[in-house]
Structure 1
């Protein structure tokens, strides 16, 4: 008897050395930030890439989001990294979707979108949110630059086996409540270290009723709960999604499930029947509230520091947050369904004066579909900027920085100090809550009837 994680892990073990296992890697995603030094390491020892056909590159982290900025990248480091990725992929015969490629986008969006992410496979990338791909029943996790070099050279990685955390989520979501609210509520309830040393498997009727985009949002933020890995059992919904991808290959999912709840080392639960939209008030994802709650009392030094940084106080409400910027995008919530749902809350409305509101699709495919379906026009007509695919404002690494001391309502995954730029103040929420915040000029409870999105 074993878990989904155990089954996939054991299938890929080559050898063992003490607590370390050498496992085979089925898919290696690379981008411009964590790969340059790895390729230099290969050259230093006159090594080549073991399986270029199992490696796939994209430009995303440092990619500008406007046509003008892409044609004239002024950040010297960013340009060096982007140029290096292109040169390295050409030299080592690795497929790359550069800024101008029709398949370009954020690595954790285009991998599944293209059908390169598959159930039962091992997937690594030099990015902590690689857990996203676990939504397909893949064993996926982030690695460091040294490990990137090792995988490039050997198509293997040394890894400790994790314990198993069962995350049972039950209940039906109300209108205006989304998968982002579910994962934020879970982290609020259990904290950012509940998953330390574990592979988390999400299950229960709530998960079973989610589409793949929603499941990816859940697994994407497993890392914010401390888990290195987040997984969901593949099913007919998974297969139907994959059948519509560019590189679809038939897969067998018959054995990709956990045999019994007793196989988990620990189980945590969340009932979502009465869940309200969530928003973070502090500087880590567990410091959150339902939008109709007051900010909590100071319970330790981390709360005190968070309140000081965010310029907020206990017992205030979301009405006390001055919304200055809104960002909809990222590998957490930059898919077409995210944009479509958010657009329902802005259709026929206007962004409040003084608010900078930006939408950044997660891929060129999402960008094109938003144009074809009129979603882009809905945002543009409402006063949003609608930009080209990139990690964008999720992290303070590219031109899309949140201005110092501004409160930004963001559909991304991290709200640490300076995450979106020096002294930027980040509030995590669903894309729909972000959109409604932009047009109402404040954070609103979109589960209330007066804020329901248009159908």
Structure 2
């Protein structure tokens, strides 16, 4: 019997396997940041242990960093303390840090791929749930808890039970104005925020194959939002062309060997999956969430579901979510006034996302009632945007380009949405208070967010397509 892509990579990294126990899995690269690493470092100090393989540990500051005036001391005391502790810990344990001011600094799930650290066939972990992003390269990548962060630091290995395997196929041609973010929001809305629980999900089909690496990263990034352990996409020429020539990508003869191996990374035709789901690209329209988990999503022209359409045991929590969002049964979101637009996060802050938004907003200006934050995912993205003149387009449109960081995705710095305000966000979670205490989040694609910023209300990007303003 053939193997799935997931099993090929997993088996290549098993150090020891005994029936009835988790496997000991070798980890190729461990990404760390300032939020989930301090306790792990303290644990090593307590036990008198070094970081076992510091050269396979990549550190950056992203969650707590400000996105304006990064050259100045961080104002928030807790944020400043966490960033300072990361600096001290990396120095003490011999780990290179891409901290504030470093040309490689940025969101951990943006810098790994853009630096060529993330590659097909590897295993990648981080104390951050959206580590699944790296699976877009045909790799096993997942988030871990703080105790596991310490475990990897000490041994470069993890105790892990093999998850079940799911394949999600998307085939067909997307409508204009529909992109990767809409695909993944649609899938999660169809199977629920728990529909992938216990699975490693492989995304396949000609629609997925047609996506850029940035689009594939968006898809895999939100695998955790359906409860999956990880998400991955088999590497192909698109993957190889993306990795080639990057800072830490293999060079010369090592590159040739790597590519030869990467070309073996696919699920065999007779590979068995525990679950297979199929979707038609033509059924997907621009998506937007209305509730307080990413599974509560609808096409932008659809109406909020009726409470009575849910099972009795679910109606209480559903009503609670609508009350929090200030919405009601059968309401349409189209035309609903908004207050903020956030374009950024590890889901949608890459150069392709910024180019797409800039192309759309060029010659337009944001609505007076909307505050817009455009936050690049890394210093490299920021510098590339400036070289291409995107910053000038953004400034003219009232979309100021800020400095890199996680920003309003989770509001751990100064970038918080005020209580009761509505934000159309390109991030990955719409939990209660995620973007600030009592803030209200609509998740959407970069194009939907940009169009809503221009009109000042939730907008169907296809309205602009009819006018011929977007190709």
Counterpart Cα distance in 2 of 1:242 and 1:359? 26
Shift of 1:35: 0.5
Q: Does 1:257 align with 2:266?
A: yes
- 2:379 corresponds to: 364
Shift of 1:261: 5.9
- 1:302 corresponds to: 317
What do residues 396-453 of structure 1 show as CA deviations (whole Å, max 9, x unaligned)? Answer: 2111000101000000000010010100000000011101100111121112324665
Shift of 1:90: 1.3
- 1:159 corresponds to: 160
Q: Is the 8 A contact 2:121 2:139 kept in 1?
A: yes
> Which stretches of structure 1, 4 residues or longer, exceed 4 Å deviation after superposition?
451-455
Q: Is the 8 A contact 1:104 1:363 kept in 2?
A: yes
- 2:346 corresponds to: 331
- 1:25 corresponds to: 27
Q: Does 1:423 align with 2:423?
A: no
User: Structure 2 matches for 1:14-413, cutoff 5 A?
Assistant: 14-17=15-18, 18-67=20-69, 70-249=71-250, 250=255, 251=258, 252-260=261-269, 262-298=271-307, 299=310, 300-319=315-334, 321-413=336-428
Q: Is the 8 A contact 1:357 1:383 kept in 2?
A: yes
What do residues 50-104 of structure 1 show as CA deviations (whole Å, max 9, x unaligned)? Answer: 101100100000010011x651212221111111111111121111111100111
Q: Scaled by the length of structure 2, what TM-score is found?
A: 0.94
Q: Scaled by the length of structure 1, what TM-score is found?
A: 0.98
Counterpart Cα distance in 2 of 1:368 and 1:176? 27
Shift of 1:255: 2.1
Counterpart Cα distance in 2 of 1:147 and 1:451? 52
RMSD, aligned α-carbons: 1.3
Q: Is the 8 A contact 1:176 1:452 kept in 2?
A: no
Q: Residue 383 of structure 2 aligns to a residue in which SS?
A: helix
Q: Residue 344 of structure 1 aligns to a residue in which SS?
A: helix
What do residues 369-406 of structure 1 show as CA deviations (whole Å, max 9, x unaligned)? Answer: 11111111111111122100000000021110001010
What do residues 237-256 of structure 1 show as CA deviations (whole Å, max 9, x unaligned)? Answer: 10000003111112221321
Counterpart Cα distance in 1 of 2:270 and 2:363? 48
Counterpart Cα distance in 1 of 2:466 and 2:22? 55
Shift of 1:131: 0.3
Q: Unaligned stretches of 5+ in structure 2? A: none
